Amino acid sequence: MVDRGDHCVGGVAGDDGRQHAPSIAQAWNQLRAERVLVIVSVLKIEPTAKWIRGIIGDRTVVDTKAAQLVWEHEYYPYWYIPVVDVHDPALPTTALDELPRHVKIEFAHVERWFEEDEEVFVHPRDPYRRVDAQPSSRHVVIEVDGIVVADSTNPTILYETGLPPRYYLPVADVRTEHLTPTETSTGCPYKGFARYWTVDVGLGTHTDLAWGYDEPLPESAPVKGLICFYNERVALTIDGERLVVAATTEDR
């Protein structure tokens, strides 16, 4: 038997009738037969020139300059890696009819992923998704339960493809006495890891209504240390005009 962590690959019989360890190709075939799911329909496939690596502990388990980006849904792509560039056959994989000899490895099955020498978090980045964080002098007022909790003429507005603008405000312009930190944390491959606050002005608790990034990723650096509120869950006034904001999936 060939041990592959929690999975073993059975030996194969040679001409002498004895069991021999399988070749790498045979091991791959057996593992793929047992571990690989097949996706039969996707929205789009395109190559990426980026150097993609996946690391578990001190082992590089994925190392390729020939990955394909595959959109299985509209939200973000996945990496499909040439089989020859996956160096741990025990990793569960997913195959695709349209991409022979390529497999997908779920993001969470690898400890650290890199594009070139920059670490990537949560999921692969969409090359068609853009994030612009721009300083502004618009007058932004945030009300919760009829009480003003933020009033600023110095917002940083974050524009992200497919999402409503988000208004990040200086801490000095927020009535932080109404904010209580929570244990919630979420990650975004474009912005980094956010922390949250519950808002309570005395008329009820609004859990995780506000968030901020202490150490945002480089492309979102201008929002560092600022506080943002869900447009969809507050009364938002911009330059004297009350905004009516459609409900979203509450992406940050």
pLDDT digits (tens, 9 = 90+) for 60-107: 999 999 999 999 999 999 999 999 999 998 999 999 988 999 999 999
Task: Judge residue 238's burial from the number of C-beta atoms within 10 Å of its C-beta, 0-12 exposed, 13-18 middle, 19 or more buried.
Answer: middle
Judge if 93 and 152 occupy the same domain. Answer: no
Same domain, 135 and 75: no
Last residue of one domain, picked from the residues 120, 149, 179: 120
Query: Counting Cβ atoms within 10 Å, is residue 161 exposed (0-12), middle (13-18) or buried (19+)?
Result: exposed
Nearest-angstrom CA–CA distance, 105 and 91: 7
What pLDDT sits at residue 42? 80
Q: Kind and range of the H or E element at 89? A: none
Q: Which tokens in the block code for residue 132?
A: 């612009």
Distance between CA 33 and CA 25 in Å, rounded?
A: 12
98 and 150 fall within a common domain? no
The residue range of the domain holding 78 is 20-120
Question: Domain check: are 49 and 100 in the same one?
Answer: yes
Coil vs helix vs strand at 97: coil
pLDDT of 195 > 60? The answer is: yes
Residue 8 domain-assigned (yes or no): no
What is the number of structural domains in the chain? 2
Give, in order, the Cα–Cα distances in Å from 101 to each of 67, 76, 87, 125, 172: 11, 22, 14, 23, 55
Mark whether 205 and 136 lie in a shared domain: yes
| Token pair for 202 | 């005395």
Indicate whether 110 and 139 sit together in one domain: no
Q: Would residue 208 count as lying in a domain?
A: yes
- Computed over every residue of the chain, the mean pLDDT equals 86
Which pLDDT value is given to residue 247? 61
42 touches 96 (CB < 8 A): yes
pLDDT above 90 for 41: no
In CATH, what number is assigned to the domain containing residue 137?
2.170.150.40
Query: Is the residue at 9 inside a domain?
Result: no
Asked if residue 53 belongs to a domain, the reply is yes
pLDDT given at position 250: 56
Q: What is the pLDDT of residue 43?
A: 87
Q: Is residue 11 situated within a structural domain?
A: no
The model's pLDDT over 18-29, given as tens digits with 9 standing for 90+, comes to 444 444 444 444
Q: What is the mean pLDDT of residues 118-138?
A: 96
Please state, in angstroms and rounded to a whole number, the distance separating the CA atoms of residues 186 and 16. Answer: 58
Dihedral of the CA atoms 174, 175, 178, 183 (nearest 10)? Answer: 30
